A = this chain, B = another copy of it.
Amino acid sequence: MSAARLDILTLGNAIVDVLARTEEDFLLAQSVHKGAMQLIDEARAESLYGAMGPAIVVSGGSAANTAVGAASLGASVGFVGKVRDDALGRLFAHDLNATGVRFDVPPATDGPATARSFILVTPDGERTMNTYLGACQTLGPADLREDTVRAAGIVYLEGYLWDPPAAKDAFRAAVRIAHEAGNKVALSLSDPFCVDRYRDEFRGLLRDGSLDILFANTHELKSLFQTADEETALAALRGEAVLGVVTRSAEGAAVVSRDGTVAVPAFPVETVADTTGAGDLFAAGFLAGLARGLPHETCARLGALAAAEVIGHLGARPQADLAAMARREGLLA
């Protein structure tokens, strides 16, 4: 049996976001590191939820957000990740299927509940994430269908997959199958602290030819190359045999390769309501462009556009039709 062709297959933690607006002093009181993602256990999840304000619940998960964004831009996309057969798991699956993302990994029928990330959004729009991995810890190579991976032009992996132990094996299997089929592999570094936890392994992936494309923001890139200087980090990235896509918040993004650097500005936004998903949606736009064979600059502009939409409202999933937005901007025909 051969699977239908996919432009993009993303692999990541399947997470439902519980988002609440909060004041800065709540972060201090809860001893959380602003702007970062920290892992929490179930007891901490309960106590944090009890203390935080009224929330909205939206499907999330970095690579899943990217899948939805790319699908909203017209790409054919699949997602691999693990939920439990509970209310949040059904919500997560519904939101992927309803966007046209193929998601057919069976939910776990026992074990921990579907993962939740308690996301605290401060008045400046910055998000701070507290993630209970739950059912994500049961994702393994058995959840990966070889024909699906072979059928995908680009396999996109999130660095966060290094946190649940068995997911790493699924990650490595996906890399092997994709490359055997002659397809591309992309990695997002996810978070500077995640890079700090797995720096040697991520640098190993860069050097051993596992990766064709690397997505990172400047904080993650500096953490990867252990430098406080952005130019030093970019120079180090230029030395690697990958296409580097570096997001620089309000300063836009840079596409970095041995051939040179293409810089694009950020897409203008009126108010930054919530930065959750900005990086995920940038990757979505870039990959959707790449899948259509568009030039890197156009890919990066699609990324900037998708990121701008998602930071205009609470939640990491687009609320507007991204393809229609891209057509209005002349980025898609």
Binding site for B on A (CB under 8 A): 20-21, 49-50, 52-59, 68, 86-88, 91, 94-96, 98-99, 313-315, 317, 319
Identify A91's interface contact among B53, B57, B86, B315, CB under 8 A: B57
CB distance from A21 to the nearest CB of B (A): 6
Chain B neighbourhood of A68, CB < 8 A: 54
- With A55-B94, A87-B86: A21-B319 Cβ-Cβ less than 8 Å: yes
**Are A98 and B58 within 8 A (Cβ)?**
no
**Are B49 and A54 within 8 A (Cβ)?**
no
**Most chain B Cβ neighbours within 10 Å, of A54, A88, A98:** A54
Give bound CA distance, A68 to B315, whole Å: 21
Give bound CA distance, A315 to B20, whole Å: 13
A-B contact pairs, 30 of them (CB 8 A): A20-B98, A21-B319, A49-B94, A50-B94, A53-B98, A53-B99, A54-B59, A54-B68, A54-B94, A54-B95, A54-B98, A54-B99, A54-B317, A55-B91, A55-B94, A55-B95, A55-B98, A56-B56, A56-B57, A56-B58, A56-B315, A57-B57, A57-B58, A57-B91, A86-B87, A87-B87, A87-B88, A313-B313, A313-B314, A314-B319
CB distance from A80 to the nearest CB of B (A): 18
Give bound CA distance, A50 to B99, whole Å: 12
Give bound CA distance, A20 to B317, whole Å: 12
Chain B neighbourhood of A54, CB < 8 A: 59, 68, 94-96, 98-99, 317
Chain B neighbourhood of A99, CB < 8 A: 53-54
Chain B neighbourhood of A87, CB < 8 A: 86-88
Give bound CA distance, A98 to B55, whole Å: 9
Chain B neighbourhood of A53, CB < 8 A: 98-99
Chain B neighbourhood of A50, CB < 8 A: 94
Give bound CA distance, A322 to B49, whole Å: 22
A53's closest neighbor in chain B, by CB? B98
3 A-B pairs with least C-beta separation: A57-B57, A54-B95, A87-B87
Contacts A55-B98, A57-B57 supplied; 10 other A-B pairs, CB < 8 Å:
A20-B98, A50-B94, A52-B98, A53-B99, A54-B99, A54-B317, A55-B91, A56-B57, A57-B91, A313-B313
Chain B neighbourhood of A315, CB < 8 A: 56
Chain B neighbourhood of A317, CB < 8 A: 54
A18's closest neighbor in chain B, by CB? B91
Give bound CA distance, A319 to B88, whole Å: 22
CB distance from A41 to the nearest CB of B (A): 18
